[in-house]
A and B are shown apart, each in its own frame.
Chain A
Amino acid sequence: MNKKAIAPILLATGLSLVAAGCGNSNSNGNASPSSSPADSPSASASSSASAAPSDKKVTINMMHLWPEGSSAQQNKIVNQIIKEYQNEHPNVTIKQEVLENEQYKSKMKVLSASNKLPDVGMTWAAGYLQPFVEGNLFAPLDDLLQGELKDKFVSGTTEAYAVDGKTYALPLEFNITPVYYNKKIFEKYNLQVPTTYAQFQDVVKTLAKNGVAPIALGNKDRWTGSLWYMYLADRIAGSQTLSDAINGKASFKDAGLVQAAKEVQTLVDENAFNKGFNGLSNDEGKSEFMNGKAAMYMMGTWELPNFTTNQDVPQDFRDSVGFFKFPTVDGGKGNIDSWVGGPGVGLFVAENSPVKEEAKSFVEYFVKRWGEQSVTDAGVIPATKVDTASVQLPQLYIDLLNEMNKATNITLFADVQMKASAAEIHLNQIQALFGKAVTPEQFAEEHDKAIKAGQ
């Protein structure tokens, strides 16, 4: 029904990320982290005191997906921020409800159907967020972007949460997707980090010949395989063609995009992925890499704690993990500094919340405090700018944060970018493509149909 609206938004997402460059983050970034710890409590206290003089008791319900057990650090930061906020605003009580990812999504469905969303909650970008916005469930947060948070975000991140020019959520995470590799395995077989796809192919063949699984993949979850297709599509057909196809402005039958799908199947034929990948979850696939059985693993930067600080992972292994950028393809239109990635969860405020204003100022506070702490305390790269010079981080983080700053383009994960129904078809087609149940041409055909149906 909203044919016209969707395309430009998704395009904006893609394009603004294209333009992002994130290059100016350093200049702005220098100022923010150094000054904020000092002035944040007093400044926000005074500003909010003047803005909201009422001492009316309010309760803000917040729903998030960082349980204490699995996401201890995130959970700790959330609690700490809430505590601070409540201290500064004695009339405000913040009640949390924590659910695990899957359950969180289900509950969001039920709550939104009954128009009973929590005052503050978490959402994903673009395709996930859109129906909530169309149903008038999320409040626009543009005024927050003009206040204290002005220029604090990495450019291109908040745009992923914008519909019709209004921003409906503020991102907390920002990730790109490198290929991690096991240096020891590479050394053993005398392999160099590939910078071209031809070299990459040689690496794959050498490893496969020696009985090492070249790439760890758990494709039951499907978005994992989507990453590989996205990169091949980006490198062969170029970022513009890929995002045009996803937005319905071009066809997936583009020669480059079909070629990318073919390359996926070539990799499968070369036994590039661990055995039975289509039946394994990401966790199971990942374990092949973590156990040193597979040499490479492509995943978002959210995995970094496992390769740097996580004490449960043997030091020996953590030290042997490096990363490389997805190599360029000869004759392809893609650039090596173009990434697949994007912001992860963001905070929304419910449109019909009885405490909307209070919720908004809490979100503002939360995002700012989160940005100061998340990367150092929880290893989560925030969507607000991080000054790598002033924080103590493992080298892998610094390198990747620098890569983010150098990025010429960041294409949002396909399943996040597309509308839910198209995303499901995309994911199913990915699994079928990897399983060789469809030809690259059928794959393209199904995608065009799905994107069209969603418009």
Chain B
Amino acid sequence: MSNKWAIALYVLPALLLVLGLIYIPIVMTGYYGLTEWNGIGAQKWIGFANYSTLLQDGIFWKSALHSLLLAVFSCVSLLLYLIVALILSGQIKGANVLRKIYLIPMLLSSVAIAQLWLKIFHPTNGVLNSVLVSLGIDNPPAWLADTSLVLYAIFIPILWQYAGFYILIYYAALKNIPSSLVEAARIDGASAWQIAFRIKLPLIMEVIKVTIVLAFVGSLKYFDLIYVMTDGGPNNSSEVIASYMYHQAFKSFDFGYGSAVGFFLLVVCLVATWLIRRATASKDSIQYS
């Protein structure tokens, strides 16, 4: 049948693009990771030496832990976004306007978001500390300078930055549910909770699974705000894998080691994705009856 040709026609353009522009860099990163290279001139093959350094690199493991924490926080926060999307997609007056307003922050570039939150976290005249002082707290913390707080402080803008993204996806998925199904349930006397948990959530399960993968992997390789707001500091206490990789490759001129970190990150992401897909796999996907 013509099906084979159709499949080829539909899949090949994308596949070629991805193979050429993503897989070539992946392979080359893998190769650089096995060399000693300052980014100039020839690479020197050193086998797995970068990886054995990596295993003993305390700062690397520290940043890996931070990335993992971010991934966990991101996945947990999905629940909140889902609730917001459920509310917005329900029978709420003005939902259409509210939804648009809620998504505005996601339009801001990282540069703008970073500036905004730097002003919020500023130790002396920041919004947050001004509020705390007016509440009678004498010596509020210097959020981004405090090694024990900085990581959690910076998680807030990161999660906030992506809230719109996930709410948007959930909202679209929920709106995609045929209203006849919801209507039928309502007529049968189902409560709003029942409709949400028994009908809506199961129907968008596939979308939820996808967002878990996206949130997890996206967090593992997260870079932007960390780089602009704290640059991984102070003392690496907000360093994540991607910022560490960048520091090694572009700041310390250790491109070989940086690539090893990058490649390791890729492998971690792969494993995480596989685990998530396995954990969330269902025997048969839900279909409309």
Residues of A within 8 A of B (CB): 105-106, 109, 112-113, 131-132, 134-137, 219-222, 274-281, 284, 288, 293, 419-421, 423-424, 428, 431-432, 435, 437
Chain B interface size, as a band, is 20 to 34
A291 to chain B minimum Cβ distance, whole angstroms, is 9
Residue of A137, A279, A424, A431 touching B252 (CB-CB under 8 A): A424
13 contacts between A and B (CB under 8 A): A105-B250, A109-B39, A112-B40, A134-B41, A220-B231, A278-B142, A278-B234, A279-B144, A279-B145, A280-B145, A421-B253, A432-B234, A435-B234
Give bound CA distance, A348 to B66, whole Å. Answer: 40
Contact check, A276 vs B235: say whether CB atoms are below 8 A apart: no
Contact check, A274 vs B124: say whether CB atoms are below 8 A apart: yes
For A128, give the chain B residue with the smallest CB separation.
B253
Contact check, A421 vs B252: say whether CB atoms are below 8 A apart: yes
Q: Confirm or deny: B35 has a beta carbon within 8 angstroms of a beta carbon on chain A.
A: no
Contact check, B250 vs A421: say whether CB atoms are below 8 A apart: no
For B153, give the chain A residue with the smallest CB separation.
A279
Given A109-B250, A431-B234: A279 and B38 interface contact (C-beta under 8 Å): no
A420 to chain B minimum Cβ distance, whole angstroms, is 4
Give bound CA distance, A278 to B236, whole Å. Answer: 12
Q: Confirm or deny: B186 has a beta carbon within 8 angstroms of a beta carbon on chain A.
A: no
Given A278-B145, A420-B252: A428 and B235 interface contact (C-beta under 8 Å): yes
List residues of B (221-274) whose CB comes within 8 Å of A's CBs.
230-231, 233-236, 247, 249-255
Contact check, B40 vs A431: say whether CB atoms are below 8 A apart: no
Given A276-B124, A435-B234: A112 and B39 interface contact (C-beta under 8 Å): yes
Q: Confirm or deny: B208 has a beta carbon within 8 angstroms of a beta carbon on chain A.
A: no
Residues of B within 8 A of A (CB): 38-41, 118, 121-124, 142-147, 150, 230-231, 233-236, 247, 249-255
Q: Describe B's contact surface by its main secondary structure.
A: loop
Contact check, A284 vs B40: say whether CB atoms are below 8 A apart: no
Contact check, A135 vs B252: say whether CB atoms are below 8 A apart: no
Contact check, B251 vs A220: say whether CB atoms are below 8 A apart: no
Residues of chain B contacted by A428 (CB below 8 angstroms):
233, 235-236
For A274, give the chain B residue with the smallest CB separation.
B124
Given A109-B39, A428-B236: A131 and B253 interface contact (C-beta under 8 Å): yes
Residues of chain B contacted by A135 (CB below 8 angstroms):
38, 40-41
Give bound CA distance, A275 to B139, whole Å. Answer: 10
Q: Which of B145, B230, B249, B254 gathers the greatest number of chain A CB atoms within 10 Å?
A: B145
Contact check, B39 vs A279: say whether CB atoms are below 8 A apart: no
Contact check, B233 vs A278: say whether CB atoms are below 8 A apart: yes
Give bound CA distance, A277 to B142, whole Å. Answer: 9
Contact check, A113 vs B145: say whether CB atoms are below 8 A apart: no
Residue of A131, A277, A284, A437 touching B38 (CB-CB under 8 A): A131
Contact check, A437 vs B235: say whether CB atoms are below 8 A apart: yes
For B121, give the chain A residue with the smallest CB separation.
A279
Residues of chain A contacted by B40 (CB below 8 angstroms):
112-113, 131-132, 134-135, 137
Contact check, B234 vs A220: say whether CB atoms are below 8 A apart: yes
A63 to chain B minimum Cβ distance, whole angstroms, is 16
Give bound CA distance, A276 to B125, whole Å. Answer: 11
Give bound CA distance, A428 to B247, whole Å. Answer: 11
Given A113-B39, A136-B41: A435 and B235 interface contact (C-beta under 8 Å): yes
Residues of chain B contacted by A419 (CB below 8 angstroms):
253
Give bound CA distance, A393 to B194, whole Å. Answer: 78
For B146, give the chain A residue with the smallest CB separation.
A279
Residues of chain B contacted by A132 (CB below 8 angstroms):
40
Other than the given A219-B234, A220-B231, A280-B145, 9 more pairs (CB < 8 A) read A109-B250, A113-B255, A220-B230, A276-B123, A276-B142, A279-B143, A284-B122, A420-B254, A428-B235
For B37, give the chain A residue with the smallest CB separation.
A113
B267 to chain A minimum Cβ distance, whole angstroms, is 23
Residue of A106, A109, A131, A431 touching B235 (CB-CB under 8 A): A431
B31 to chain A minimum Cβ distance, whole angstroms, is 13
Residues of chain A contacted by B118 (CB below 8 angstroms):
281, 284
Residues of chain A contacted by B234 (CB below 8 angstroms):
219-220, 278-279, 431-432, 435, 437
Give bound CA distance, A431 to B255, whole Å. Answer: 24
Residues of chain A contacted by B147 (CB below 8 angstroms):
435, 437
Residues of chain A contacted by B236 (CB below 8 angstroms):
428
Give bound CA distance, A274 to B123, whole Å. Answer: 9
Q: Which of A136, A275, A277 gathers the greatest number of chain B CB atoms within 10 Å?
A: A275
Give bound CA distance, A137 to B41, whole Å. Answer: 9
Give bound CA distance, A280 to B205, whole Å. Answer: 43
Q: Which of A106, A220, A278, A428 gathers the greatest number of chain B CB atoms within 10 Å?
A: A278
Residue of A219, A277, A293, A424 touching B251 (CB-CB under 8 A): A424
Residues of chain A contacted by B250 (CB below 8 angstroms):
105-106, 109
Residues of chain A contacted by B231 (CB below 8 angstroms):
220-221
Give bound CA distance, A274 to B142, whole Å. Answer: 11
Residues of chain A contacted by B150 (CB below 8 angstroms):
279
Given A424-B252, A437-B147: A279 and B124 interface contact (C-beta under 8 Å): no
